[in-house]
Amino acid sequence: MTESKLGIGFVGSGFVTNFHLQAWRGVRGADVVGVYSPNTEHAESTAARARELRVGNARAFKSIEEMIAAPEIDCVWLCGPNHLRVQNMQAICDAVQLGKGKLIGIACEKPLARNVAEARRMVHLVEQSELLHGYLEDQIFAPSVTRGREIMWNRAAALTGRPYLARAAEEHSGPHSPWFWQGELQGGGVLNDMMCHSIEVGRFMLTKPGAPRSSIRPLKVSAQIASLKWSRPEYAEILKQNMGADVDYKTKPAEDFARATINYVDEDNKPLLVEVTTSWSYVGAGLRLTLEVLGPEYSLTMNSLDSGLKLFLSRAVKGAAGEDLVEKQNAEQGLMPVLGNEAAEYGYEAQDRYFVQCFLDGKQPEESFYDGLEITELLMTAYMSAEQERTIQFRPDGLDTYVPLVARGLWKGGASGPTG
């Protein structure tokens, strides 16, 4: 480590890495100095982007081992695809154990892994390597979420009692890379991909600031999954055309809608509820994050598409399709919301700043691989509930080896889950 500046290496050079690079303009104390991707062109262009944004004098590496061994690398941001997570982590830890480089910390994108067995493996590897570890859940760092939580707890909960219900949703029209759509590679459908965010935001809002995570406790999970849009023949065909022949939702769908209710209790055994909804079958201006929290004498709401900035484009403005107004944009005309700084508003900036600060201070971050593991356990319990069409007590038997039907390519589509 140079004086008080860390050198960061990225594993993966895709969509989410680009968000981190934009966020990095608001991060002090660390530069992006390395990028690894098996696709050399991707790694080179992402490194060039980092230099262009002036977030670091980044260079592309040909292998994870080479990057870990480089003297300028202090920490890694693990941002490869889900099915390569454990393999990437193993390569990092093998290099560390062979005494290469001087790595001190690793931050891993959501989800920590595809299932509980893999998530436990991630925890094992990081413990064995004695690295500091962070779990990258950007939404609990979003300024509207952290500010809302702070005011709600300080002003309202302090006088009238704790919040008891959190509703969180993340919805858009579907992911950008083929592997997300393939249950076996991604670990599931939208439930695995996006409910990890909503569960953690709900849990975060209901946890008193400063209190440990264990101050509220999940008791049971009830969930539904459904394929509402993308297994319809006409949409399955569009999907195949856009994502390639391996993404065939007529024969091998993954859920594009999921909802779950998680019953928690507080320290006094009083009930708390987290309701979460996620979908890839939502068509609006673009990605929509919503949050609602209810307490005895107050409520809080947030909708990421209710942006202060709106742009009206008449029918004469026939521009090319893009994502320049909002992530997962669905239109380029009409009254469109625009987010001034998406990387900041979704939480990437404050998140990356927080993990850099922890690593600089040699301190274990509060949001860690252990939290990523618990979230994976809740996600897998939600799949169990949907498959078995009943509410499941947390933690159920068999959770450690459970792999959802969707992730084994065996789910038949339609809708499943407890009703009534």
Q: Which residues contact 124 (CB under 8 A, 6 or more apart)?
A: none
* Amino acid in the structure at residue 319: G
**Does position 22 bind ligand NAD by CB under 6 A?**
no
Among 42, 217, 250, 395, binds ligand NAD (CB under 6 A): 42
2 binds ligand NAD (CB under 6 A): no
Stretch that binds ligand NAD, among 14-22, 150-158, 365-373, 396-404 (CB under 6 A): 14-22
For ligand NAD, the closer CB: 174 or 295: 174
Cβ contact 10:32 at 8 Å? yes
Cβ 290 to ligand NAD shortest distance, Å: 15
Whose Cβ is closer to ligand NAD: residue 135's or residue 249's? Answer: 135
**Which of 48, 84, 185, 338 is the binder for ligand NAD (CB under 6 A)?**
84
Among 39, 63, 299, 393, binds ligand NAD (CB under 6 A): 39
Binding mask 142-181 for ligand NAD (x = CB under 6 A): -----------------------------------x----
Q: Is 399 helix (H, G, I), strand (E, B) or coil?
A: helix
The candidate with the shortest Cα–Cα distance to 128, out of 367, 369, 376, is 369
Residue 304, Cα to own-chain centre: how many angstroms? 16
Residue 337: which of 365, 314, 370, 303 has the closest Cα?
A: 303
Is position 187 an interface residue for ligand NAD (rule: CB under 6 A)? no
CB 114 within 8 A of CB 186: yes
Query: Are 221 and 417 a contacting pair, CB within 8 Å?
Result: no
Contact map string, positions 60 to 79, toward ligand NAD, x by CB under 6 A: -------------------x
Answer whether 20's CB lies under 8 Å from 80's CB.
Answer: no
Binding to ligand NAD by residue 14, rule CB under 6 A?
Answer: yes
Determine which residue in the list 31, 72, 74, 138 makes contact with ligand NAD, applying CB under 6 A.
138
Tell me how far apart the alpha carbons of residues 397 and 393 are, in angstroms, rounded to a whole number: 9
Q: How far is the C-alpha of 186 from the C-alpha of 179, rounded, in Å?
A: 6
Residue from the set 7, 80, 218, 337 that interacts with ligand NAD by CB under 6 A:
80
CB 226 within 8 A of CB 278: no
Q: Using CB under 6 A as the criterion, which residues of the chain lie in contact with ligand NAD when the complex forms? A: 11-17, 37-39, 42, 79-82, 84, 88, 109-110, 138, 177
